[in-house]
Amino acid sequence: MCGIVGYIGDKQAYKIVIDGLKRLEYRGYDSSGIALFDSRLSVCKTKGKVEGLVNKAEKEISLDGNVGIGHTRWATHGEPNDVNAHPIISNNKSLVIVHNGIIENYATIKDELISKGYIFKSDTDTEVLVNLIEYVQLTEKVKLGKAVQLALTQVVGAYAIAVFDKKKPDEIVVARLGSPLAIGIGENEMFIGSDVTPFLNFTRKVIYLEEGQVGVLRNHKETKFYNVENDSIISPTIENLKLELSEIEKGGFDHFMLKEINEQPKAIIDTLRGRLKLNQGIIKLSGIDNNINAFTSANKITIIGCGTSWHAGLVGEYIFEHISRIPVEVEYASEFRYRNPIINQNDIVIAISQSGETADTLAAMKLAKERGAFVFGICNVVGSSITRLSHSGSYTHAGPEIGVASTKAFTTQITVLYLMALKIAKSKGVISKSVFNKYLGELNLIPKKIEIALNLNDKIEKIAEAIKDSKNCLYLGRGFNFPVALEGALKLKEISYIHAEGYPAAEMKHGPIALIDENMPTVVIATSKGHYEKVVSNIREIQSRKGKIIAIVTEGDKDVKEIADHYIEVPETIEPLTPLLTTIPLQLLSYHIAVKLGKNVDQPRNLAKSVTVE
Ligand code: AGP
């Protein structure tokens, strides 16, 4: 996610745009920039947060002008630096753009523009877009609004953009598809924002631009809106805002964690975007494509990480061994770095990290590289230390994860691991075309199935009420869902401070069952795929000792529903993909328990979002 802001009116634009960018920093903060027009175009941009932009702008550019656009970036293409920061200027220096989204076919368009003499300075897809608009404007001899509309008919991907032409300084053109864009309507002034927070203090009259719409915003002339597809004129609805600022930053949710739990369908869609080509039956993953021999000839894969990322790695072990038939070890990065590990030629080390800054993971990667391993990073922050240290990697596109308890990072990390394992298995010839396509089809359905699981929120809240005063809790799972049991236990303990442990279900009789009594609830993942009958007998063992059972079952389950004290039904999918669904109720359960106990859900005691020290 990035944040875009714009203003055109009778006031000075600079402070409005800067304050608006500060409001949107939760959407991304690796670089930022501003463009202002006051008889000439001034652009200032910098790596880092908006505060750094202010310091730089006040030294380098004129802050005058009643028109301005700004951007705070969460990089997807091109690492965070001054060149890749937005606003981005077109080749003829007339147009300037800010963009939130991903242009999937930017490489093809870039090649075409290069063949027409265009020169590119940045690594971004956005620079391709602004030069495409310029090219259309010049060759079709049309105004900016029409040029934007025509250019966007050639684009595949997601965008929310604001574009300004210094030759026509009385308008800003906006458009959106797949990324949000809000327009604030004032007295002879128009505001732009990725959400309404940048202009909430100026107006509560808002137009939420719809998918595939373009707007030509003017402060003293009529503002017009069109459909990208056919240029037909539209009359959008003007809404009067009721929400308060703090509610809007959290998307109307009470906490960032709940917002991020609910963002998982979109986060997985964005992580699959441009990679899972269902119709062609292929997976495009440049980090693997460019290093496929390293993976197909690998003798062993070692996955390293911490906390939730380590749990994702454990799911990865089941995925790679089941699908790609490559031996996998999973290690806490903190253990790996100190135990003098054996690393042979052709070994691969996969480092998983949401923040890309975890000290133990970084140190373990350095050791692996020194000993000759090929190091591959799976990370959510473009340009972070782990991505720069890796030989190659694949990003999760979960967007900023603000809540300390990791949720959407976990499911998008697992999504990338599936894409990797399937691509490697295909290259090694260890998976049939029909099974490969079955996986692709099922993976493509996961976002919708997560939506269904999220609808269980109210039922899960009631279960949270029933067990919130427990002092301890057990989580059990088998196979692909054993790591999910560990992750569910981590979620509960880190935000509600209730002691919780995850175990393979079959381990109960080797000790943990001694804990069971009427005060010890046990959360059991008992989906229909994966040793179901054995899990049912584990449940019966627990119940015979008066233990309370909260079961995660597959829709349509019969047996477990009969015996469990509480049950939550998740949609059916193939066994290897069940972790993407079974984790959802566990996230919601821990969230509601913590809220009911009055805990600080987004910033739990003693914890930091990124552990950058040992
Ligand atoms: C998980 O909810 C915690 N916030 C924590 O365990 C986290 O997963 C761990 O610190 C690793 O962080 P990383 O993914 O940014 O490397």
Cβ burial 411-435 (10 Å sphere, 16+ → b, else e): bbbbbbbbbbbbbbbbbbeebeeee
pLDDT at 180: 86
> Considering only 11-20, 237-246, 332-341, 344-353, which range has the smallest mean pLDDT?
237-246
Shortest-distance Cα residue to atom 7 of ligand 1:
307
Ligand 1 mutation target, pool 354, 357, 496, 583, most atoms within 8 A of CB:
354
Joined tokens for residue 570 = 């998740």
Above 90 in pLDDT, residue 283? yes
Please say whether the beta carbons of 309 and 409 come within 8 A: yes
Is the distance from the beta carbon of residue 385 to the nearest atom of ligand 1 less than 6 Å? no
Report whether pLDDT(248) > 80: no
Token match 């042979």: residue?
Answer: 344
Is ligand 1 within 6 A of the CB of residue 307?
A: yes
| Bridge partners (DSSP) listed for residue 351 | 304, 377
Higher model confidence: residue 94 or residue 77? Answer: 94
Q: Provide, rounded to the nearest whole percent, the portion of the chain with pLDDT above 90.
A: 83
C-alpha 411 – ligand 1 centre gap (Å) = 13
What are 563-571's contacts with CB under 8 Å, separation 24+?
563/536, 563/539, 564/524, 564/526, 564/539, 565/466, 566/463, 566/466, 568/456, 568/459, 568/460, 568/463, 569/456, 570/449, 570/452, 570/453, 570/456, 570/527, 571/449, 571/452, 571/453
Tell me what pLDDT residue 247 has: 67
Q: Quick: pLDDT tens for 332-388.
A: 999 999 999 999 888 999 999 999 989 899 999 999 999 999 999 999 987 788 988
pLDDT tens for each residue of 140-196:
999 999 999 999 999 998 899 999 999 999 999 999 998 889 999 999 999 999 988
**In whole numbers, what is the pLDDT of the chain averaged over residues?**
93
Atom index in ligand 1 nearest the CA of residue 608 equals 4
Q: Are strands 41-47 and 31-37 parallel, antiparallel or unpaired?
A: antiparallel
Does the Cβ of 384 fall within 6 Å of ligand 1?
no
What amino acid occupies position 323? Answer: I
Q: How much distance in Å is there from the Cα of 117 to the middle of ligand 1? A: 46
Query: Which atom from ligand 1 is nearest to the alpha carbon of 355?
Result: 15
Annotated active-site positions, please?
2, 609
Top mutation candidate among 260, 304, 306 for ligand 1, by most atoms within 8 Å of CB: 306
User: 3-state DSSP call for residue 235?
Assistant: coil
Q: CA 244 to CA 247: how far, in whole Å?
A: 5
* H or E segment to which residue 272 belongs: helix 264-272
Which tokens is 285 given?
């993953």
Residue pair 566/466 in contact (Cβ under 8 Å)? The answer is yes
- Report CA 286 to chain centroid distance, whole Å: 18
Considering only 186-190, 486-490, 580-584, which range has the smallest mean pLDDT?
Answer: 186-190
Average pLDDT rounded to a whole number, residues 273-301:
93
**Secondary element (H or E) of residue 426:** helix 408-428
Q: Which domains does the chain have, with CATH numbers?
A: 3-246 (3.60.20.10), 250-454 (3.40.50.10490), 456-614 (3.40.50.10490)
Residues whose CB is less than 8 angstroms from the CB of residue 446 and which lie 6 or more positions away in sequence, other chains included: 268, 415, 573, 577, 580, 581
Closest-CA residue to 387 (of 75, 1, 32, 33): 75
For ligand 1, whether the C-beta of 46 sits within 6 Å is no
Which residues make Cβ contacts (< 8 Å) with residue 44, sequence separation at least 6?
33, 34, 53, 56, 57, 60, 61
Tokens 């441009």 label which residue? 274
Q: Specify whether the CB–CB gap between 610 and 355 falls below 8 A.
A: yes
Atom of ligand 1 nearest to the CA of 607: 4
Q: Which of 257, 309, 380 to mutate to test the pocket of ligand 1 (most atoms within 8 A of CB)?
A: 309
